[in-house]
Amino acid sequence: MKRSRLIRIAAVAAFAVLAAAGCSSTGGAQANQPAGGVGAGKANTPPLKIAFITHAAAGDTFWDVVRKGAQAAAAKDNVTLLYSSDASAPNQATLVQNAIDQKVDGIAVTLATPNAMQAVVGKAVSAKIPVVGLNAGISDWKKFGMMEYFGQDESIAGEAFGTKLAGLSAKHVLCVIHAQGQVQLEDRCAGLKKTFTGTTENLYVNGADLPSVQSTITAKLQQDKSIDYVVTLGAQFATTAVTAAKNAGSSAKIATFDLNKDLIAAIKAGSIQFCVDQQPYLQGYLAVDALWLYKVNGNVTGGGQAVLTGPTFVDKSNVDQVSQFAAGGTR
């Protein structure tokens, strides 16, 4: 299973290399392309309008990176990107309906709360608008009639996380869920519990209120001194957990899913042990680029399977390799 997923990712990378070769300004495939083909580094295909709609909350650094990827692909592909987001599932569904009403050329959307999104995604598919998924909804995109999916299999990522913690001799893990009911977050903690050999306990917090997150984790660590690892599901919550552990007088170590540039310094300093990087820039880029490829050349990637962008671990052994990209806001 893992080998097949790696092959799918390699195939996407190989396609990108071949596409770049075909875009040479002299000779090769470019010389035989009709007007409206791909120019040197930027499409001169007819302009497209693509809606990019996520469940992101305002000011989330992870989603800033996703958006940068989407914007880079849109700039290359002669696409007008209509980016919008709302953490409320009904409001996100309304944003998708608005995109349908605008008769966009394609829609990229997250499915953090699949039940709330199924009907409106079905409307887009019925309207013959190509729809791709990213980041959340890996178990649902195909049955919703969506064309492709780009992201991390959160269950597999959680299982890898649990295995790593077991190898570090952790005994009691607190998995902090910052948005109850979001399928990708629940899957992470469930996957961790599946492979971790010690005790796993979930703690639900209000991710929209970081002081509340900090106080809730602090109280839990004060109550239970046996907790030796706190696992958060977003980079901003990891740094909050570091402060909470100090306030609680706890020796618990901190590890997290997702990466941002602030986390790089914390991993180097040792206050955060490691993180899982699902490459959000790649998710945004591939989602937009896939819709462009489909519209201009009928391409569909993945062969009916999700194109995986993670998980990869970042720790002291490889953080320097990643830091230059994180500093630029693309990792």
pLDDT tens column, 165-207: 999 999 999 999 999 989 999 999 999 999 999 999 999 999 9
Q: What is the pLDDT of residues 253-289, one digit of tens each?
A: 999 999 988 899 999 999 999 999 999 999 999 999 9
Give the tokens for residue 238: 């990891």
Strand (E) or helix (H) holding 100: helix 89-101
The CATH label, of 3.10.350.10, 3.40.50.2300, 3.40.190.10, 3.40.50.920, for the domain at 154-277 is 3.40.50.2300
Q: Specify the pLDDT at position 22.
A: 35
Strand (E) or helix (H) holding 292: helix 280-297
Please name the residue that has the structure tokens 């519990």.
193
Residue 4: CB atoms within 10 Å: 9
Q: Specify the pLDDT at position 59.
A: 74
Q: What share of the chain is helix, strand, coil (3-state, %, to 5)?
A: 50, 15, 35
DSSP state string for 200-267: EEEEE--TT-HHHHHHHHHHHHHH-TT--EEEESSHHHHHHHHHHHHHHT---EEEEES--HHHHHHH
Q: Specify the pLDDT at position 35.
A: 37
Q: What is the pLDDT of residues 51-63, one digit of tens each?
A: 999 999 877 889 9
CATH number of 45-152+279-300: 3.40.50.2300
Cα dist from 227 to 91, 139, 214, 218, 266, whole Å: 38, 31, 16, 12, 21
Q: What is the pLDDT of residues 76-129, one digit of tens each?
A: 999 999 999 999 999 999 999 999 999 999 999 999 999 999 999 999 999 999
Q: What is the mean pLDDT of residues 41-48?
A: 89
Domain boundaries, the chain: 45-152+279-300, 154-277
pLDDT over threshold 70, residue 34? no
- Is the N-terminal amide bond of 90 cis, ω within 30° of 0? no
pLDDT over threshold 50, residue 19? no
